[in-house]
Structure 1
Amino acid sequence: MDRRRSGYLRRVLVAAATAVLGTVILVPGAASAAGTGAITGYGGKCVDVASANSANGTQVQLWTCNGTNAQSWTVGTDGTIRALGKCLDVSGGSTANGAKVQLWDCNGTGAQQWVANAARDIVNPQANKCLDATGVSSADGTPLQIWDCGGGANQKWNVPGGGGGGGTSGFVVSEAQFSQMFPSRNSFYTYAGLTDAMKKYPAFATTGSDTVRKQEAAAFLANVGHETGGLVYINEINTANWPHYCDWSQPYGCPAGQSAYHGRGPIQLSWNFNYKAAGDALGVNLLNNPDLVATNSSISWQTGLWYWMTGTGGAGTTSHNAMVNGQGFGTTIRAINSIECNGGNPAQVQSRVNLYNQFVGILGVPAGGNLYC
């Protein structure tokens, strides 16, 4: 395995500064129910349709629980959440913080897809944002919106049926399966670190059918397993390359030093501009403290998920989108390291494919098509 090549992964990582999260299209119609009842949350209040009005555009809000139809929600197995014959909807299909959450005719768009996960978030995967009580208020009439998932109490909900919207009770890969996949892994790459990191990107491995969720998890773990020799290596092993990843043309330079931005972590994050972009996205000062990627397991895993969810490389789409939209594992290789594709390094491609086939086998799902790039 050419584990620490001189820079081609680093070149494609810069594309990760822009997120490209696509729409998962659902088929409109009657949804079979995973659960029906009240959705309770912040302050013990219920998710409520203002004035029990079923008109399109009616604000969804917090209100004292009262057992009315305005607070009776059906969590559909198709990813919808419905009340009064309409769907919970993000106004205008927006992905911006503060976008209004409302009732609207069910139409099968990503604005009406929701994932209730084990962390008690209700996530809109199209925006990769959480259902949120505006202003951290629990007062009656507090409007609901979408906002970056931050783990606050105003984003925690109890959903009828204990899940829904395509969600699962925990990561689709159990800790035992994770250990089976990486029997010789470095103790730094903990399962707890990975599941904690997933809170930053709650759409990861929670979008689509159970098969799709497991395929995405297997694809991510296969790629990072390839990058790290089976989750063995934390730092780039070719130390001669370490001074090469400082681009002094960037206005912020390399404050941690010329050799501080070598490959680290599950995706082998490197270059000062990628540490800056990842740190900005994750709310961690990685430009000045790049070694956090090698010393904090959750942050390290977060950088891997950051690229998986936002980096497009040579694929024109993210690895996450490739898996949930049926483009196949081969597209994830192109997004991560397109230089291997089109005959560039077939042995490396085969290594990734072998791991993916092994991991989907452990998870008991088919590999799907388009495995190669």
Structure 2
Amino acid sequence: MFPNRNSFYTYAGLTDAMAKFPAFAGTGDEVTRKRELAAFLANIDHESGGLVHIEEINRAAWGNYCDAGQPYGCPAGQSAYHGRGPIQLSWNTNYKAAGDALGLDLLNNPDLVREDDSVAWQTALWFWMTQSGAGTTTAHSAITGGGGFGETIRTINGALECGGGNPAQVQARVEAYQRFTAALGVEPGDESTLTC
């Protein structure tokens, strides 16, 4: 599924992370579970360039991903919270929240996400399972609750891609989802729910 995968991203790391989130691809009937797995794989495919990139590739865009107004500030530095991992965790607020949920100090050591593949997968599943991002629901609930693939896009990057913001990016995600659903032997669902 990921022919050019960076060896950093291991299956063992993914299954280790999945053990912490048993509802992932484990909720609903077989069709729903396969659709969730396909939706996750499609989004990480898009976010990481096919599991090639561990960090954002455009270093010039790293800039300031830190909300210094938070009580915990930016202990790792103003530009330390750029995107890392298969869903590209970014911003100090997300590193803090993910770290707290996973029992890790990601606020002070954000590089754990690029140094430990299990941690990278854990942050991706943490976001998938618990965060609504720019949407109104988690990506997990979007699929298991019938919202469809388009709502997973809205959750992950809706502020930039949904509502006509970047139709080529949305289409690339949809095409990846259709590839993964085909590989898993399941229909992608209602056409009207594929985009945001």
Asked if TM exceeds 0.5, the reply is yes
* Partner AA of 2:164 in structure 1: G
Alignment of 1:140-159 (within 5 A): none
Alignment of 1:12-27 (within 5 A): none
* Secondary structure at the counterpart of residue 182 of structure 1: coil
1:372 to 2:192 alignment: no
Which of the numbers 334, 346, 362 marks the counterpart of 2:183? 362
Alignment of 1:82-97 (within 5 A): none
User: Hey, what's the Cα distance between the residues in 1 that align with 2:94 and 2:146?
Assistant: 28
1:150-170: per-residue Cα shift (whole Å, max 9, x none)? Answer: xxxxxxxxxxxxxxxxxxxxx
User: Hey, what's the Cα distance between the residues in 1 that align with 2:61 and 2:161?
Assistant: 20
1:244-272: per-residue Cα shift (whole Å, max 9, x none)? Answer: 11221111111112221111001111111
1:320 to 2:140 alignment: yes
Residue equivalent to 2:25:
205
1:270 to 2:100 alignment: no
1:302 to 2:125 alignment: no
Residue equivalent to 1:137:
none
1:288 to 2:102 alignment: no
Residue equivalent to 1:165:
none
Alignment of 1:90-105 (within 5 A): none
Which of the numbers 243, 247, 256 marks the counterpart of 2:63? 243
Contiguous gaps of at least 5 residues in structure 2:
none
1:36-84: per-residue Cα shift (whole Å, max 9, x none)? Answer: xxxxxxxxxxxxxxxxxxxxxxxxxxxxxxxxxxxxxxxxxxxxxxxxx
* Partner AA of 2:166 in structure 1: N
The alpha carbon displacement at 1:347 in A equals 0.2
The alpha carbon displacement at 1:289 in A equals 0.8
Residue equivalent to 2:2:
182
- Please say which structure displays the higher CA radius of gyration: 1
The alpha carbon displacement at 1:363 in A equals 0.5
The alpha carbon displacement at 1:314 in A equals 3.0
Q: Give the structure-2-normalised TM-score.
A: 0.95
The alpha carbon displacement at 1:315 in A equals 2.4
1:258 to 2:78 alignment: yes
Residue equivalent to 2:50:
230
RMSD over equivalenced CA pairs, Å: 1.0
* Partner AA of 2:175 in structure 1: N
Residue equivalent to 2:150:
330
Q: Which has the higher contact order (CA 8 A, sep 6+)?
A: 2
Following superposition, which runs of at least 4 residues in structure 1 exceed 3 angstroms of deviation?
none
* Partner AA of 2:138 in structure 1: T
* Secondary structure at the counterpart of residue 248 of structure 1: coil
What count of residue pairs does the alignment treat as equivalent?
193
1:220 to 2:40 alignment: yes
Q: Give the structure-1-normalised TM-score.
A: 0.51
* Partner AA of 2:179 in structure 1: Q
Alignment of 1:51-130 (within 5 A): none
Residue equivalent to 1:34:
none
Contiguous gaps of at least 5 residues in structure 1:
1-180
Larger proportion of strand: 1
User: Hey, what's the Cα distance between the residues in 1 that align with 2:145 and 2:94?
Assistant: 26
Residue equivalent to 1:344:
165
* Secondary structure at the counterpart of residue 62 of structure 2: helix
User: Hey, what's the Cα distance between the residues in 2 that align with 1:366 and 1:270?
Assistant: 32
* Secondary structure at the counterpart of residue 244 of structure 1: coil
User: Hey, what's the Cα distance between the residues in 2 that align with 1:191 and 1:315?
Assistant: 29
* Secondary structure at the counterpart of residue 64 of structure 2: helix
User: Hey, what's the Cα distance between the residues in 2 that align with 1:364 and 1:271?
Assistant: 36
Larger proportion of helix: 2
The alpha carbon displacement at 1:324 in A equals 0.8
* Partner AA of 1:294 in structure 2: R
* Partner AA of 1:270 in structure 2: S
